[in-house]
Structure 1
Amino acid sequence: MTSRFFVLCAACLAMTASANMSLDPQAIQEVFGRNGYAPPAPPQSPQQAVPVTPAPPKQVVAVTPAPPAPPPDDVFSPVPADYDQFDWTLTKRVAAGSDKNFLLSPLGLKLALAILTEAATGVTQNELSSVLGFDLDRNVVRSKFSTIIESLQKESPYYILNLGSRIYVGDNTHPRQRFAAIAQEFYKTELKNVNFNNPAVASKEINSWVSNITQGHIPSLVNEDDVANMVVLVLNTLYFKGSWYHQFPPNATHFGKFNVSPRLVSYVDYMNVNAKFFYTESTKYDAKILRMPYLGNKYAMYIIVPNSLLGLPRVLNDIGGLRQELDNLREYTVDVTLPRFQFDQTSQLDGILRELGIRAAFEDTASFPGIARGQDMDQRLKVSKVLQRAGIVVNELGSVAYSATEISLVNKFGEDIEATAEVVADKPFLFFIQDEATRQLLFTGRVSEPHGQDGVLKV
Structure 2
Amino acid sequence: MDEQDPNPNRHTHHSHHHHTHEQHRRRKSLDDSSENAVLATIQRDMAVIDFNSTFWKAAHVSYHDNLVLSPMNVSFLMAFMRLGSRGNTYKEIVTTMKFHNEQLMVDECHLLIESMRNEPEFGKDLIISNAIFAPPYCIFRKELMDVAEKKFLTYIGQTDFSNLDNAVQEINTWVNETTQSRISEIVSKDDFKSDNQLIIINTLCFKGHWKVQFPFENTTTDNFFAAGGKKVTIDMMKNTMACPYADLPDFKAKAIGLPYRDGRFSLVIVLPEKRYGLAEVEKRLDTKFSLTIFSKLSIPPSTLIEINLPKFQVTSTDNIKSIFARIGMKSIFQENAELSGCFEKPEKQEKDKKDKLDKIHVSNLIQKIYIEINEVGGTGNENLETVDKITTDPALPESTSEDEDAPVDSTNAETQSVEVIPFIVDHPFLYFLMDSKFGTTVFIGVHATF
* Short-chain TM bin: 0.7 to 0.9
Give 3-state SS (helix, strand or coil) of 1:195's partner: coil
Structure 2 counterpart of 1:386, from 365, 377, 391? 365
The 3 A distance-change label for structure 1 pair 180 and 262 is closer
Give 3-state SS (helix, strand or coil) of 2:357's partner: coil
Q: Please give the alpha-carbon distance, in whole angstroms, between the structure 2 residues aligned to 1:385 and 1:98.
A: 25
How is 1:134-283 mapped onto 2 (pairs within 5 angstroms)?
134=99, 136-156=100-120, 160-224=125-189, 226=191, 229=195, 231-261=197-227, 263-283=229-249
1:328 and 2:307 are equivalent in the alignment:
no
The 3 A distance-change label for structure 1 pair 217 and 185 is closer
Q: Which amino acid aligns with 2:231?
A: V
Displacement, 1:261?
4.5
1:428 and 2:428 are equivalent in the alignment:
yes
Q: Which amino acid aligns with 1:309?
A: R
Q: Which one has a larger percent strand, Structure 1 or Structure 2? A: 1
TM-score, structure 2 length as denominator?
Answer: 0.74
Decide whether the 8 Å contact of 1:256 with 1:268 is kept in 2. yes
How is 1:76-95 mapped onto 2 (pairs within 5 angstroms)?
76=15, 81-82=45-46, 83-95=48-60
The 3 A distance-change label for structure 1 pair 368 and 261 is closer
Please list the CA deviations of residues 213-240 of structure 1 after superposition, one character each: whole Å capped at 9, or x if unmatched: 2121211222355457354333333222
Q: Please give the alpha-carbon distance, in whole angstroms, between the structure 2 residues aligned to 1:377 and 1:193.
A: 18
Query: Which has the larger Rg?
Result: 1
Structure 1 counterpart of 2:326, from 343, 346, 355? 355
The 3 A distance-change label for structure 1 pair 345 and 294 is same
TM-score, structure 1 length as denominator?
Answer: 0.72
Give 3-state SS (helix, strand or coil) of 2:133's partner: strand
Structure 2 counterpart of 1:75, from 6, 10, 14? 14
Decide whether the 8 Å contact of 1:287 with 1:307 is kept in 2. yes
How is 1:39-118 mapped onto 2 (pairs within 5 angstroms)?
74-76=13-15, 81-82=45-46, 83-118=48-83
Q: Please give the alpha-carbon distance, in whole angstroms, between the structure 1 residues aligned to 2:395 and 2:246.
A: 13
Q: Please give the alpha-carbon distance, in whole angstroms, between the structure 2 residues aligned to 1:384 and 1:151.
A: 32
Displacement, 1:152?
1.8
The 3 A distance-change label for structure 1 pair 189 and 363 is closer
Displacement, 1:188?
4.0
1:345 and 2:323 are equivalent in the alignment:
no
Please list the CA deviations of residues 346-394 of structure 1 after superposition, one character each: whole Å capped at 9, or x if unmatched: 2223232112111222334321112223364553222322222223222
Please list the CA deviations of residues 172-224 of structure 1 after superposition, one character each: whole Å capped at 9, or x if unmatched: 22222232234244224343333333333333232222112212121122235
Displacement, 1:272?
0.6
Please list the CA deviations of residues 16-46 of structure 1 after superposition, one character each: whole Å capped at 9, or x if unmatched: xxxxxxxxxxxxxxxxxxxxxxxxxxxxxxx
How much is the aligned-residue C-alpha RMSD, in angstroms? 2.7
Q: How many correspondences in the alignment?
A: 363
The gaps in structure 1 that reach 5 residues or longer are 1-72, 401-414, 452-459
Q: Which amino acid aligns with 1:249?
A: P
Q: Please give the alpha-carbon distance, in whole angstroms, between the structure 1 residues aligned to 2:156 and 2:315.
A: 29
Q: Please give the alpha-carbon distance, in whole angstroms, between the structure 2 residues aligned to 1:233 and 1:364.
A: 14
The match for 2:374 is 395
Give 3-state SS (helix, strand or coil) of 1:246's partner: coil
The gaps in structure 2 that reach 5 residues or longer are 1-11, 16-23, 29-40, 347-352, 380-393, 397-417
Q: Which one has a larger percent helix, Structure 1 or Structure 2? A: 2
Q: Please give the alpha-carbon distance, in whole angstroms, between the structure 2 residues aligned to 1:203 and 1:378.
A: 21
Q: Please give the alpha-carbon distance, in whole angstroms, between the structure 1 residues aligned to 2:227 and 2:185.
A: 34
Higher mean C-alpha deviation, range 249-258 or range 312-321: 312-321
Bigger RCO (CA 8 Å, 6+ sep): 1
